[in-house]
């Protein structure tokens, strides 16, 4: 594994954080980007927590964020690191962030909604109030 290339890839995180801030209209407390990606197919969305303790889902206008995650994944592959298939980027309003990667088989995109439900329970809670529009 090429540690210098991994370090270069990790420099993307602040850029991703800024892109998330730019994509969210108005104030948010915390934002989560959920990405599933294989070589030629991806699925992604942004959830963010509003002041009223409801989550908002964003699914359009996120092409730049998707492209940044594809570039990040390619950087990991170029560094001889196993290519991740899922990523969760968590950003707090104060700029603190964390990233979780998964290496599960996501090639069956017919199961994407079931995987998203599991992801929602893990990251947003058992029965979160989500505005899907």
What tens digit of pLDDT does each residue of 92-132 get?
Answer: 988 899 999 999 999 888 888 899 999 999 999 999 999 99
Cα 107 off chain centre by: 17
| Residue 35 tokens, joined | 């990405």
For the beta sheet containing 55-58, the strands, ordered from the edge strand earlier in sequence to the opposite edge, are 97-102, 86-92, 30-37, 42-49, 55-58, 130-131
Domain count, the chain: 1
Q: What residues make up the domain containing 20?
A: 3-131
Tens of pLDDT, residues 2-58: 555 556 666 788 888 899 999 998 899 999 999 999 988 888 889 999 999 999 999
Rounded mean pLDDT of the chain? Answer: 88
DSSP assignment of 45-77, as one string?
EEEEE-TTS-EEEE-SS-HHHHHHHHHHHHHHH
Residue 51's φ and ψ, nearest 5 degrees, are: -65, -25
């Amino acid at each position: 594994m090429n540690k210098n290339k991994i370090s270069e890839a990790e420099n993307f995180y602040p850029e991703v954080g800024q892109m998330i801030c730019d994509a969210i209209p108005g104030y948010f407390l915390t934002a989560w980007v959920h990405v599933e990606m294989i070589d030629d197919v991806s699925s992604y969305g942004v959830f963010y927590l509003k002041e009223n303790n409801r989550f908002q889902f964003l699914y359009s206008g996120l092409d730049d964020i998707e492209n940044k995650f594809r570039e990040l994944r390619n950087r990991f592959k170029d560094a001889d690191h196993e290519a991740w298939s899922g990523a969760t980027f968590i950003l707090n309003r104060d700029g603190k962030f964390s990233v979780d990667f998964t290496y599960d088989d996501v090639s069956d995109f017919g199961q994407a909604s079931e995987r998203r439900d599991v992801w929602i329970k893990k990251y947003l809670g058992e029965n979160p109030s989500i505005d899907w529009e």
